[in-house]
Amino acid sequence: MIRLFAALAIPEDIGLALQARQTGIEGARWRPLEALHVTLRFYGEIRQDVARDLDAELTTIAARPFSIELEGAGAFDDGSDIHAVWAGVAANAELSHLAEACETAARRAGLKPEKRNYKPHVTLAYLRRPDPAEVGGWIQANNLLRSPPIFIDRFGLYSSHQSRDGSHYRLEAEYRL
């Protein structure tokens, strides 16, 4: 079994600017530079043969290069259930098309459909029982976040390996647009 997801890498200069915002929430597990990405579709734990089928399907995706911009900040869940803070991604038709194509590839490879609505973002930290006021203050301080355009001409299939230090990601395959 292998844990996989499709994602867009964040360029180092944008990642360094995001890392400068990784402060102000006690106990936050801030994500390292190499872990910053925009997930297109999380596939989860799948068998190796299904992973090969998924790779074959992802190679058939036809899309043109495009640009995205990071915009705003937020959190998943609320109150004591908040479990992550993130930088948002501005609405983008090309990004939505690519995410839908990654979903279609998953279905063609035999995976179950994703039930959650797609919310493009870059996770900056994972949280465990944070102070909601601290998280609210962080969101307010970072809500005007805006990046320069990020040119996207490829996406990747990444594996995720869990450890005591958190998840570590490895690029398994890359697909040009």
* Over residues 65-87, mean pLDDT: 94
Predicted confidence at residue 16, as pLDDT, reads: 98
Residue 72 CA to residue 8 CA, distance in Å, equals 18
Q: Which residue numbers are catalytic?
A: 37, 121
CATH at residue 40: 3.90.1140.10
- For the whole model, what pTM was predicted? 0.94
Cβ atoms of 107 and 113 within 8 Å: the answer is: yes
- Give tens-digit pLDDT for 84-139: 999 999 999 999 999 999 999 999 999 999 999 999 999 999 999 999 999 999 99
Predicted confidence at residue 163, as pLDDT, reads: 78
* Over residues 61-89, mean pLDDT: 95
DSSP lists the bridge partners of residue 121 as 88
Residue 75 CA to residue 140 CA, distance in Å, equals 11
Domain containing residue 96: 2-176
Residue 52 CA to residue 56 CA, distance in Å, equals 6
Q: How many domains would you assign to the chain?
A: 1
- Give tens-digit pLDDT for 131-173: 999 999 999 999 999 999 999 999 999 999 987 777 889 999 9
- Give tens-digit pLDDT for 30-68: 999 999 999 999 999 999 999 999 999 999 999 999 999
pLDDT band for position 80 (cuts 50, 70, 90): confident
